[in-house]
Amino acid sequence: MIVPKLNAVLETALYVDDLERSVAFYQTIFEFDMLSSSERLCALNVSDRQVLLLCLKGASTVAKVTSGGIIPPHDGDGELHLAFSIAASELEQWENWLVEKDIEIESKVKWTRGGTSIYFRDPDKHLLELVTPGLWTIY
């Protein structure tokens, strides 16, 4: 049997302690538009191609019954990692933007293939990365 084809990662979820605080952070730093919001999660539009789900920790540990079916329980904890791709020509602008927003750049790495990453944290200590082409052979 041939493995069916995937198109992309559509949703990525981060679990947060304070949903309102986290939504404000991601909308301030990245200007993500809100796709939907509830007391347990918020869906943010990432470049009209992906969705970042910010889920309140502990709020999705019970199956959610919807009119279309059941969403199984899920949750997460810890300092998770998420990387966003950026153009190499915008790296310096991103660094300046983060400084302007009082976001500490924790590290900067120049990769052997030519890409550069800058690392910083969100309010829940998740490690965020902005990376230019060259990190992976596919990017």
Cα 109 from Cα 114, distance rounded (Å): 10
**Does the structure show a pLDDT above 90 at 70?**
yes
Note the pTM of the prediction, 2 decimals. 0.94
Co-location of 71 and 82 in the same domain: no
Query: What average pLDDT does this structure show over 74-94?
Result: 97
Co-location of 28 and 88 in the same domain: no
Helix (H, G, I), strand (E, B) or coil at 82: strand
The pLDDT value given to residue 139: 87
CATH code for the domain of 25: 3.10.180.10
Residue 57 pLDDT class (50, 70, 90 cuts)? very high
Co-location of 55 and 1 in the same domain: yes
Residue 134 pLDDT class (50, 70, 90 cuts)? very high
The pLDDT value given to residue 94: 98
Co-location of 85 and 61 in the same domain: no
Co-location of 10 and 65 in the same domain: yes
Give the DSSP letter of residue 126. -
**Does the structure show a pLDDT above 90 at 99?**
yes
Residue-wise pLDDT tens digits, 39-55: 999 999 999 999 999 99
Shortest CA distance to 86 belongs to which of 98, 99, 70?
Answer: 98
Co-location of 62 and 94 in the same domain: no
- The tokens for 113 are 């293939």
How many domains does one find in the chain?
2
Does an H or E element contain 97, and which? helix 91-100
Residue 28 pLDDT class (50, 70, 90 cuts)? very high
Which domain range does residue 118 map to?
78-139
Co-location of 25 and 64 in the same domain: yes
Co-location of 67 and 131 in the same domain: no
